[in-house]
Amino acid sequence: SRRAGPTRPEPMAPANAQLRNCGWGLARRGLAEHAHLAPPELLLLALGALGWTALRSAATARLFRPLAKRCRLQPRDAAKMPESAWKFLFYLGSWSYSAYLLFGTDYPFFHDPPSVFYDWMPGMAVPRDIAAAYLLQGSFYGHSIYATLYMDTWRKDSVVMLLHHVVTLILIVSSYAFRYHNVGILVLFLHDISDVQLEFTKLNIYFKSRSGSYHRLHALAADLGCLSFGFSWFWFRLYWFPLKVLYATCHCSLRMVPDIPFYFFFNALLLLLTLMNLYWFLYIVAFAAKVLTGQVRELKDLREYDVAEAQSLKPSKAE
């Protein structure tokens, strides 16, 4: 009988085939298994973003600019007032609604952060009141990306602001698709309050010099708003946000759902959001230091402007 020769090793699978079971292959399978986002929902989100853009253009032309003209604001302030008025109205409404969800209903997420993962299941139904908040916020941040590029006044931190809007929109859409909506409501509540105070302060700065006279009431409101804004930024975004949101997503999520999908992806985005909050807080501290040392004698704006913009403020493209 013939002696059997040595067995030949089986050929190795191509590198592309090996990658199918890891990396992007796992990501695609994870998306297909855990992400639940219907095309009509994406279409509704896009239509909402277009609606916000159209509504802002109409409000600027028919309400905010006529108001600035009637109050005889200074040209520089009149050019910036519509942007702040628009954002103030939106953030006031959105924060009020998220506060209602957290404190006016049975949702325990604020007082019991780990509860955001109680009874969590892939593809679980999203309550209508939370889904409505997601639609409003997601479509608004889609609009805000366009507005930062083509409607808002360009500032030194506009690139960071644009990155913030992109990260926020990704977090909103992906957290809805993966049913982390309970976490999302908590994140929105902790962030929107600072935007309300920021735009309120800026509006009072713009209105304190109008009709050819100086209004002390608006100046006082601007000073108090500035102090409140700095405190709330630290307390809500740099203290409560890690204490409640990051604690729940980084620690509690693994204890309650050991195989929770896309754990590192979501926490990386939340940590990036924290770094941006810290970056802007350094702006606030630097501004406060200039006020305390007498380098800034009058409160003019809470966001720094480029040198070219400070010399000659150009109207936004929408105007």
pLDDT tens figures, 252-301 = 999 998 888 889 989 999 999 999 899 989 988 888 787 777 676 666 65
The first and second tokens of residue 203, run together, are: 């509006």
Question: In the prediction, which pLDDT does 103 show?
Answer: 97
Evaluate whether 101 touches 129 at the Cβ level (below 8 Å): yes
Q: Hey, what amino acid is at 31?
A: L
166 contacts: CB under 8 Å, gap ≥ 6: 145
pLDDT of residue 243: 95
Q: Is 296 left (phi over 0), alpha (psi -120 to 50) or beta?
A: beta
> What's the mean pLDDT in 146-159?
87
For residue 54, name the pLDDT band (cuts at 50, 70, 90): very high
List, in order, residues 6 or more apart from 47 with CB less than 8 Å away. 139
Torsion, CA 9, CA 11, CA 12, CA 15, rounded to 10: 170
Average pLDDT, the chain: 84
Predicted confidence (pLDDT) at residue 138 exceeds the cutoff of 90: yes
pLDDT above 50 for 310: no
Lowest-confidence range among 103-112, 155-164, 193-202, 265-274?
155-164
Note the pTM of the prediction, 2 decimals: 0.82
pLDDT of res. 307: 35
Would you state the pLDDT for residue 160?
84
Give the phi and the psi of residue 210 in degrees, each rounded to 5. -145, 160
